[in-house]
Structure 1
Amino acid sequence: MDIGVGLPSVIRGVAGETVLEWARSADQAGFSSLATLDRLVYDNYDSLTTLAAAAAVTERARLLTSILISPLQANTALFAKQAATIDRLSGGRLVLGVAAGSRPDDFRASGIEMGGRGNRIEAQVAEARAIWSGERRGFAGGIGPSLPAAPPILMGGHSPAAINRAARLADGWISGGGGVEMFRHGVAAFRAAWQAAGRSGEPKIVSLTYYALGSRADELADRYLSDYYGFAPPYAQLVLRNAAVGEAKLRSTVDALAEIGCSEVVLAPCGADLEQLKELRTVVGK
C-alpha cells in the first residue's frame, strides 16, 4: 500500500512557505502523493493553485486532489486547461480526485445550484476527457496544453449514487475520513459496482485518513476537525473518533487499511507544524 500525505493547505492561518516546505520535505522523504482538500467558504488555499505551487518545488510525488469539489468549477473548458497545465508542468504527476460536495454554503457563495451536481460531474468528466484527448474546439485546434495521456480521475462519495458513478466513470474511488469501518463498507460496495458496470482491471482505491501526533495530538485533532466539519457536528464527531490520533492508532489504522485492500492511504495532518510531518516519517518509516 502506498502512503501519501496531505498538505496543510486547509489549516487556518498556515503560511504559504510552510505548505511548500511540507511539499518539498514529503517529496524528498518518498511519500507517494501530496494531496489537497477542497473547500470554498473556509480560510484555506485553493486546491489546484496549491498543487501548481507544489509541482514547482517537487520532482517525484503524485499531485492529488483528495477531493476537488468539481461542480464548483463551472467552466469545464477552463478547468480542463488548468488541470492539464499542472499535469504538463509536473511531468504527468496530476491525479484528479473529484466529488459532488456536501456544503450548501460553498454552492451559495459560488452562485451555483447545488441540485443536479451529480449529473454535472458526469458531464464534466466526459468533456474534460474529450479536451485532454485533443478534440478540436476552434480554428486553432484543441484546448492545450496537449498531453500524452489524460490525468487519472478518482471519484469520492459514499452514497450509492456516488459509488455507482465512480465505478462507471472513474479510474478508482476515494473514501472520506470516516474511519476504517466506513472504508471497509465503501470498498465492498465499490468493488461490487465496478464488477456490475463490466469494468476490467484493478481500480485504485484510496483512503483519506486524518492524523495527529505528539504530546498535543488530541488537542490538534479536536480543534481542527471540530472546526473544519463544524457545519455537520455529528459527522465531525464521527471523523474525530476515527482519526489516527497518536502513534498506536496511526499504526493500527494503516495496517487495517492495507489488510482491507487499500491502494493508497493519504494521511492528512490536523496541524501545520513541520514536526507533524517529521513524526509521521518516523512512524511510517519514511
Structure 2
Amino acid sequence: MRAVKIGIGLPNQIRDVRPDVVPAWARNAEEAGFSSLGSLGRIAYPGVMDTVALAAAAGATQRIGLISTLLLAPVWPPVLLAKEVAGIDAVSGGRLTLGLGLGGRADDFVVDGLGPRGTGKRLDQDIETYRSVWRGEIPPGCDNPAVPEGTREVPLLFGGMAQVSFDRVARAGQGYIGPSAAPGLIAPLFDRARAAWQEAGRAGAPHLVALAYYALGDEERGRANVHDYYLPAGPEGARARAAEVSGGADAVRTTVKAYEELGVDELILIPTVDDLDEVARLADVVL
C-alpha cells in the first residue's frame, strides 16, 4: 500500500469567509509541506471565487501544487475561462491542475445564454476551445491570441458520477476527482475511472484525487458550515454531508488510511472553518 499525497483545501467557500485569510493560508500550507492547495467552485454563495482564490495562492507561494476541486466549467464563457486559467498557471510557474465539473445548482448559472441544460455537451466543446486558446490560436471575433506565447496546456481532471464523466476522463483528461463522501461510497467511482481508462487504451493509470472535509478545532461550527453549504440539496442531504466531516485527529487519520487503501494518488482535506490554526493542526495530524 503506497502512501497517499496529502493536500489541503483553501477556505474560499465557507460562508462569509474573510478573503484576506486566503494568501496567509496558502503560505502556511506550503511551509507545512502539503502537496497541493485545493479550491471549491460556486458562484451563488458568499465566498471567494475559486479563480480568485487560486490566483491569490499562486502569488503567495512558490512550490505547492494548485488544483481546482471542482471548478464549474459550463458557467463560464470558454475563452474567458481559458484565459483566466492560463494566467493563474503562468503566475504560479506551471503549478495548476484544472479540475472541472458540470455544476448541479441552477443559481450558479448567471451568464446569459449559459444555462444549466446541455452542460456535458457544452463542456466537451469547451475543452477544445481551452486547448485552442492555450495553443495561441486566435479566438473567433478577436484580432489577437488571448494568451502570451509559450502558454502551456493546463492538465485537466474531471469529476462526475455518470458514465459519460468517466469516458471524458479517459478521452480528454489526466485523471478523476471523486466527490466528498465516505470512502466506501466513493470506491466504485474510482474503479469506474480506472476501467474507462483501460478500455480507452490509455497507458498507465488515471491520476485519482479524493476529497474529504475535516474539522480539528471547532468541530460543531465546522459541521454547521458544511450543512449550510449543502442545504440547497435538501435538509437530508445537508445533514448527511455534515455527518461525513472527519472531526478530530483520530477521524482524520482513519480517513487518510481509508483512502490509502483505495489506492488514490492524492487526498485533499477540505477545511470547514477559516481559522488559520487549522492548517497547523492538520499538519500535525497527517504530515
Q: What band does the TM-score fall into relative to the shorter chain?
A: over 0.9
| TM-score of the two chains, using structure 1 as the length reference | 0.93
| Deviation digits for residues 160-184 of structure 1 (CA, Å, limit 9, x no counterpart) | 2222222222110001111201221
Match of 2:21 in 1: 18
* CA RMSD of superposed structures (Å): 1.7
1:45 aligned onto 2:61: no
Match of 1:128 in 2: 130
Range moving further from structure 2, 235-244 or 119-128: 235-244
In 1, the alpha carbon distance for the partners of 2:189 and 2:150 equals: 32
Match of 1:225 in 2: 226
Which stretches in structure 1 are left out of the alignment for 5+ residues? none
In 1, the alpha carbon distance for the partners of 2:163 and 2:222 equals: 29
In 1, the alpha carbon distance for the partners of 2:56 and 2:223 equals: 29
**What is the SS of the residue equivalent to 2:70?**
strand
**Structure 1 counterpart of 2:267, from 265, 268, 273:** 265
**Structure 2 counterpart of 1:117, from 103, 116, 119:** 119
Match of 1:165 in 2: 168
Cα distance, 1:116 vs. partner?
0.4
| Deviation digits for residues 50-102 of structure 1 (CA, Å, limit 9, x no counterpart) | 1111111101111111100010112x112111111111111001110000011
**Structure 2 counterpart of 1:180, from 175, 178, 183:** 183
In 1, the alpha carbon distance for the partners of 2:144 and 2:204 equals: 33
Cα distance, 1:249 vs. partner?
1.2
Cα distance, 1:194 vs. partner?
1.1
Match of 1:66 in 2: 69
Which stretches in structure 2 are left out of the alignment for 5+ residues? none
In 2, the alpha carbon distance for the partners of 1:19 and 1:142 equals: 31
**What is the SS of the residue equivalent to 1:16?**
coil
CA contact (8 A) 1:177 1:207 kept: yes
**Correspondences of 1:143-222 after superposition (within 5 Å):** 143-147=146-150, 149-214=152-217, 216-217=218-219, 219-222=220-223
In structure 2, the CA distance between the partners of 1:268 and 1:72, relative to structure 1 (3 Å rule), is: same
In structure 2, the CA distance between the partners of 1:147 and 1:259, relative to structure 1 (3 Å rule), is: farther
Match of 1:248 in 2: 250
Q: Which amino acid aligns with 1:228?
A: Y
Match of 1:83 in 2: 85
Cα distance, 1:148 vs. partner?
5.4
| Deviation digits for residues 216-248 of structure 1 (CA, Å, limit 9, x no counterpart) | 31x123211110000113332332232211111
CA contact (8 A) 1:180 1:242 kept: no
Q: Which amino acid aligns with 2:226?
A: L
Range moving further from structure 2, 23-32 or 134-143: 134-143
CA contact (8 A) 1:6 1:34 kept: yes
Match of 1:28 in 2: 31
In 1, the alpha carbon distance for the partners of 2:42 and 2:111 equals: 11
CA contact (8 A) 1:52 1:86 kept: yes
| TM-score of the two chains, using structure 2 as the length reference | 0.93
CA contact (8 A) 1:179 1:243 kept: no
In 2, the alpha carbon distance for the partners of 1:238 and 1:23 equals: 29
Cα distance, 1:42 vs. partner?
0.4
CA contact (8 A) 1:84 1:147 kept: no
In 2, the alpha carbon distance for the partners of 1:266 and 1:21 equals: 18
CA contact (8 A) 2:72 2:100 kept: yes
